[in-house]
């Protein structure tokens, strides 16, 4: 399958293309938070506590009179950054472990794969809860913990991809020509494993954002005053019935972004994963 045909297929996937636009727009808005935000991130308006949405405060204000729209933009930066970085860490680790296991083979392969089995068997969410309970719960520790516990599926996929490719004649030719293992992984195996890898990484972004919000719900996510969509949701729990805007905006933002990411992932899978066939 040539590279071009995959992107052509992706372009015909309307939901996925629309999702790219949505995600790009939201991402750009959050990135431009210092320019777009009407208020300072922690500016307190004591005369306007928990004000409903209005022209002065587009999404209302929170318990401390801070502008919700401003905090949504800044919170989005952290939430999306956690999603992207955790996906990068998880997929990168998975690719590294999978490729090493597949290429080096023998002893190392079985050691790494048994380790993967162990990591797979221990329930992820409880482990996340324990580890984030230990940590400072800042951006870096969230990324490390979430990424560090989400590499296993990628490792298995990449390993089996590498094993398939390794058996192919053109790699034998490359080996005969004296290519080193590292070169073969980089030049031959990874490009072939790219389809499933991109799909897994995309879905991992959404997953990490949802996990951060779940941890926030338990008080273990990124700690206030740094806003994330997750901890904004947590803060709004007790006033959900009387001040619905405090919970609807961050909840809807998570929903929208994760939904968009999943549609993108689905479109990518249909376009690039040769083993997967949509309807």
Residues that bind other proteins (CB under 8 A): 15, 114-115, 117-127, 129-131, 133-134, 206, 210, 213-214, 217-218, 230, 233, 237, 240-241, 244, 247, 251, 254-255, 258-259, 262-263, 266, 277-279
- 254 in Cβ contact with 77 (< 8 Å): no
**DSSP H/E element including 154:** helix 152-166
Question: Smallest distance from the beta carbon of 237 to other proteins, in angstroms?
Answer: 6
Question: Smallest distance from the beta carbon of 92 to other proteins, in angstroms?
Answer: 21
Question: Smallest distance from the beta carbon of 176 to other proteins, in angstroms?
Answer: 33
Residue 121 or 176 with smaller CB distance to other proteins: 121
Residue 67 or 266 with smaller CB distance to other proteins: 266
Q: What CA–CA distances, in Å, run from 121 to 118, 144, 160, 166?
A: 5, 20, 19, 28
Residue 68 or 184 with smaller CB distance to other proteins: 68
Instruction: Say whether 180 sits in a helix, a strand or coil.
Output: coil
Residue 7 or 134 with smaller CB distance to other proteins: 134
Bridge partners of 61, per DSSP, are 67
Question: Smallest distance from the beta carbon of 263 to other proteins, in angstroms?
Answer: 7
Question: Smallest distance from the beta carbon of 239 to other proteins, in angstroms?
Answer: 11
Question: Smallest distance from the beta carbon of 104 to other proteins, in angstroms?
Answer: 20
- Does residue 37 come out as left (phi exceeding 0), alpha (psi in the -120 to 50 range) or beta? beta
Residue 171 or 205 with smaller CB distance to other proteins: 205
Residue 94 or 251 with smaller CB distance to other proteins: 251
Closest CA to 132 of 209, 205, 216, 254: 216
Packing angle of the helix pair 14-31, 3-11 (nearest 10 deg): 90
| CA–CA–CA angle 95, 134, 258 (5° rounding) | 50
């Amino acid at each position: 399958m040539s590279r071009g045909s995959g992107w052509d297929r992706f372009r015909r996937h309307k939901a996925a293309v629309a999702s790219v636009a949505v995600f790009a727009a939201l991402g750009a808005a959050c990135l431009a938070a210092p320019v777009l935000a009407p208020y300072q991130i922690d500016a307190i308006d004591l005369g306007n506590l928990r004000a409903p949405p209005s022209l002065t405060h587009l999404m209302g204000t929170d318990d401390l009179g801070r502008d919700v729209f401003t905090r949504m933009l800044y919170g989005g930066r952290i939430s999306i950054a956690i999603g992207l970085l955790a996906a990068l860490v998880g997929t990168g680790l998975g690719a590294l472990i999978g490729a090493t296991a597949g290429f080096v083979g023998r002893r190392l392969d079985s050691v790494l794969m048994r380790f993967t089995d162990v990591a797979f068997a221990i329930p992820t969410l409880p482990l996340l809860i324990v580890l984030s309970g230990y940590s400072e719960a800042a951006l870096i520790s969230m990324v490390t913990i979430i990424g560090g516990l989400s590499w296993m599926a990628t490792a298995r996929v990449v390993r089996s991809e590498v094993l398939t490719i390794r058996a192919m004649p053109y790699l034998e030719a490359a080996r005969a020509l004296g290519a080193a293992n590292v070169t073969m992984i980089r030049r031959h195996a990874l490009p072939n494993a790219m389809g499933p890898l991109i799909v897994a990484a995309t879905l991992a972004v959404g997953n990490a954002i949802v996990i951060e919000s779940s941890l926030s719900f338990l008080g273990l996510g990124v700690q206030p005053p740094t806003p994330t969509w997750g901890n904004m949701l947590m803060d709004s729990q007790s006033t959900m019935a009387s001040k619905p805007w405090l919970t609807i905006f961050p909840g809807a933002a998570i929903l929208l972004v994760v939904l968009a990411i999943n549609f993108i992932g689905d479109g990518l899978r249909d376009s690039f994963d040769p083993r997967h066939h949509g309807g």
